[in-house]
């Protein structure tokens, strides 16, 4: 079951990601909440994208808010990433909380 507050936060932060990095080269999946395509590079149109990033909502929101680093989340096995462009380090954090 999807928590409405988490859904709102995931969608808002994914919208910030696509604003910061428009394109369709990378697919970012936050199941069961949402998925978006972003990033410069070859446009993905059908089938499984070449660059896929997947994680749970708690990990995504921690990254988006600067509470966790990409490297630490990868080291902890919290992110599944495949493809040469499947790294969002340069785009994070998306928002900072005091």
- Retrieve residue 9's tokens: 């936060």
26 — alpha (psi -120 to 50), left (phi > 0) or beta? beta
> Which architecture characterizes domain 4-88 according to CATH?
2-Layer Sandwich (3.30)
Is 80 exceeded by the pLDDT of residue 48? no
Helix (H) / strand (E) containing 27: strand 26-30
- Report pTM: 0.91
Rounded to an integer, the average pLDDT of 68-76 is: 97
- Domain regions of the chain by residue span: 4-88
At residue 97, the pLDDT reads 62
């Amino acid at each position: 079951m999807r928590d409405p507050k988490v859904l709102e936060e995931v969608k808002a932060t994914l919208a910030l990601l696509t604003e910061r990095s428009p394109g369709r080269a990378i697919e970012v999946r936050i199941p069961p909440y949402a998925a978006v395509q972003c990033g410069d590079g070859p446009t993905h149109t059908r089938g499984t994208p070449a660059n896929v990033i997947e994680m749970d909502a708690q990990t995504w929101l921690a990254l988006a808010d600067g509470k966790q680093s990409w490297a630490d989340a990868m080291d902890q096995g919290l992110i599944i990433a495949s493809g040469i462009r499947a790294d969002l380090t340069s785009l994070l954090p998306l928002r900072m909380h005091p």
